[in-house]
Structure 1
Amino acid sequence: MKLTVFGATGGVGREIVRQALAEGHDVTAAVRDPARFAVTGVAGERLEVHRADLADPEALRAAVAGKDAVLSGLGARTRADAGVAAKLTRSVLAAMDAEGVRRLVVVSAAPLGPVPDGQSIIEKAVLPIINTLYKDIYADLRVMEGELAASATEWTSVRPPKLTNKPVTGRYRTVVGGTPPRGRTLARADVAHAMLATLADPATVKQAVGVAY
């Protein structure tokens, strides 16, 4: 497939690029600053680094033109960055619409999903604290998901819990439209793996997918 990856300088985005190349896809990494972008592994002529202002839909059209799918690791890295996910995803959606590209997979967060059955007393006590601490980030992601739902794209929102930097395993649980119970962590590498896996799964189109170990 021909893929474009946004947020390719982040932990999830870099893993999407690396794994997609390893799977034989052609990848365009759209970044603000190519000097910050580095990915190890198989690349060769199948990797293109496209420099663009991610807030400018017109500047993104060349990055998505003719692609089979777009994957986004865009999101706030700190509470001070809250708002960036919705703002930049809005630009991506506009560029995709202009170029007639339909498939989009983004990373979101588990707290946006329904509360699963079987939560422990500790989990029930901790969740409100987490939601309060990161309320601005989650509010940003809710706006982003609202933009997806209102768009013409065939979107999927992947919602992981707390992220780690462990290696990819390919072994995790997914719940389309729900949240895996007792799912506490997931490696960024496995988030990328799950996002790529949704490209071949029509059941995930226009759905949020909970994913966790």
Structure 2
Amino acid sequence: MNLTVFGATGGIGQEVVRQALAAGHRVTAVVRDPARFEVTGTGLEVFRADLTAPEAVRPAVAGRDAVLSGLGARSRKDAGVATRLTRTVLRAMEAEGVRRVLVVSAAPVGPEPEDDGLLDRGMRGIVSSLLKDIYADLREMEDELARSGTDWTSVRPPRLQNKPLTGSYRVVVGGFPRRGRFIARADVAHAMLGMIDDPGTAKEGVGVAY
């Protein structure tokens, strides 16, 4: 497949690029600063863009089979960036007739498992309170996806870890795995790539966790 990856310098974005190249896909990695992008490989194109306008990124998505995005705030002061940049990506996709898009969101944006224990609910409440601006941004981003004409999937992981790929994790379409507390960025990337051709994840939020 021909794929475009936004947020390619981030932890999940770089993993998406690496794994996609290893699987034989052609990948366009959209970055603001190529000097920060360390991935190399056959089938890779590095596209420099600052995502200020859809016209600037239309060439990066034209003719692609799917777009994958790891765009999002790195801290509370960046809250709002996920919605703003994803809106630009969606407009470019719609202009080029590209429909499939998968983005990284977060577990607290989706529904809680009904049978989660008090500890998990309490911890989720604390985290949601501390990062409420970031999660508000992600909810607005998901609203943008829902209003778009794309076949979107919002992937919602819990706390992220920098650990090796396992390929073993739980996936819940429209919900979240019970007591799902952690997942490696590499496994989030793996899950996203595996969902590209899965029609059951289109127009859905998907919880992923160990």
The residue that corresponds to 1:28 in the other structure is 28
2:170 maps to what in 1? Answer: 173
Aligned residues of 1:55 and 1:87 also touching (Cα < 8 A): no
Q: 1:49 aligns with which of 46, 50, 55?
A: 46
Q: State the partner residue of 2:141.
A: 144
The code of the aligned residue for 1:97 comes to E
Which residue matches 1:104? 101
Identity of aligned residues (%): 69
Q: Deviations over 1:73-117 (max 9, x none)?
A: 001111111100000000000000111100000000000111103
Cα deviation, residue 138, structure 1: 0.2
Residue 207 of structure 1: aligned partner:
204
What's the secondary structure of 1:48's corresponding residue?
Answer: strand
Moved over 6 A (4+): none
Residue type of the partner of 1:168? Answer: L
Q: Which residue of the partner structure matches residue 84 of structure 1?
A: 81
Give the TM-score normalised by structure 1.
0.97
Structure 2 counterpart of 1:119, from 116, 123, 133: 116
What letter is aligned with 2:67?
A: V
How far, CA to CA, are the matches of 2:185 and 2:14 in structure 1? 9
Q: Which amino acid aligns with 1:2?
A: N
TM value normalised by structure 2: 0.98
Matches of 1:10 and 1:210, distance apart in 2:
20
Question: Any unmatched runs of 5+ in structure 1?
Answer: none
SS in 2 for 1:77: coil
Within the alignment, does 1:157 sit opposite 2:154 as a pair? yes
Counterpart of 1:129 in structure 2 is: 126
Alignment coverage as a number of residue pairs: 210
SS in 2 for 1:175: strand
Secondary structure, counterpart of 2:30 in structure 1 = strand
Mapped partners of 1:105, 1:93: distance in 2: 11
C-alpha contact 1:4 1:67 (8 A) present in aligned 2: yes
- Alignment partner for residue 195 of structure 2, among 184, 198, 201? 198
> Which residue of 184, 187, 190 corresponds with 1:187?
184
The separation in 1 between residues aligned to 2:209 and 2:158, in whole angstroms, is 7
Aligned-pair Cα RMSD in Å? 0.8
Q: CA deviation at 1:4?
A: 0.2
Tell whether the 8 Å contact from 1:31 to 1:54 is kept in structure 2 after alignment: no
2:95 partner SS = helix
CA shift, 1:30, in A, is 0.6
Give the corresponding residue for 1:38.
Answer: 38
Shift of 1:55: 2.4
5+ residue gaps, structure 2: none
